[in-house]
Amino acid sequence: MTDPSETLDAHVLPVVRLRPKANARAIRHGFPWVYADELVVDRRTRGLAPGAMAVLQDAERADLGVVTVNVNSKIVARVMDQDANATIDRAWLAGRLRRALAMRERLFDAPFYRLVHAEADGLPGVVIDRFGDAAVIQPNAAWADRMLPDLAGALAEVTGVSTVVMNGSGRARGLEGLDERTEVLTGGVPAPIEVPMNGATYLADLTGGQKTGLFYDQRPNHAFAQRLSRGARVLDVFSHVGGFGLAALAGGAESATCVDGSAAALSLAQGGARAMGLEGRLTTRQGDAFAAMEAMAAEGQRFDVVICDPPAFAPAKQALEAGLRAYERIARLAAPLVAPGGYLCLCSCSHAADLTAFRNASARGIGRGGRRMQLIHTGFAGPDHPMLPQLAESGYLKSLFFRLDG
């Protein structure tokens, strides 16, 4: 007999209700979030533990589905299932994981990809990256933190991975009121894992690296830059573990210089080049990227291909103006480093800066850098980072490729 405490039966779940002016139609049409000012937050709702499940109703008491509630977050409720009778348990999680896995197995020949892209894969606030026989979970919502044993168990059951790491770092967990911690839940990670991608070899540190240890989202943009880099001198600024630089070397670049503030990340980039047998063609430069670009310009250095892939300068609307100024500054400093007829790739992972705003800031910066430009390609995240059309935040990555003259 099943212990009732082990399942979350919708028939016994508490009910939370939208305010009369909240947009219930958007929820019905697939928008996954309810903001704090859209929900009736009474004493009973405040008493729900962060991450608890509830049935969401509109102001007329019609069911909208099962949601997870966290009154400590600006996103006070996240839609788990539009079926108000759904039971959110390990079997439900396994079903969502199987759906996500089926698409990745169709898209990729090897098990190195983003397996779960949060709301777009029906698991709100959850990111899971796969590294062969290992996987890293980022439980960035309170419900996922609460159900982590079930989530990790379902992940191992569905994929067969033997190592599962929980990475609980980053801004998103703070917004949910969650602590920062990283731990190995099952198996072990004795050393950085070799990850094949676009013919290059990357080293991913699953326990001590940034985010899950590697950024899969730039895979198609690495490939495009790789085509531009044959026989070229390449500069990869904000390189992390050598994302663009190692792809360029794998594609026949003459040389690659990686610039990053993290000595540990640059060491992994060097390890990747060593694994490829191309260590002699990689140069690293540790330090502030802005200062490094200014110094290289003063030194008269020029490159055939320059890529700048900075962190999110505009992670929220409040930071948009300052973020766009930073993107413009990057373009202004990078443009003089590009040889005549060379290529400049500028990237943004800020969802608050839409494509038009980012493109305009980049063009202004290139112009201020004294260069004329052609925009030849606009890239986005790979298909293992699907976009939920109703949620603009799920389509955050933009990569602009320019050819510069003058």
Q: In what order do the strands lie in the sheet with 282-286?
A: 282-286, 255-260, 233-237, 303-308, 338-348, 398-405, 372-379
DSSP state of 206: T
Can you tell me the distance from the alpha carbon of 130 to that of 400, in angstroms, rounded to the nearest whole number? 27
Q: Which residues, 6+ apart, have CB-to-CB distance to 336 below 8 Å? A: 297, 369, 370, 371
- The residue with tokens 């609460």 is 146
Strand partners, 52: 69
DSSP state of 178: P
> Which of 201, 72, 176, 184 lies closest to 125, judged by CA?
176
Is-catalytic flag, 349? yes
For 96, the 3-state DSSP assignment is helix
Cβ neighbours of 19 (radius 10 Å): 14
φ, ψ of residue 93 in degrees (nearest 5): -60, -45
Helices in 8-89 by DSSP H: which ranges? Answer: 24-28, 43-46
Q: Which residues, 6+ apart, have CB-to-CB distance to 190 below 8 Å? A: none
Residues recognised as catalytic? 349
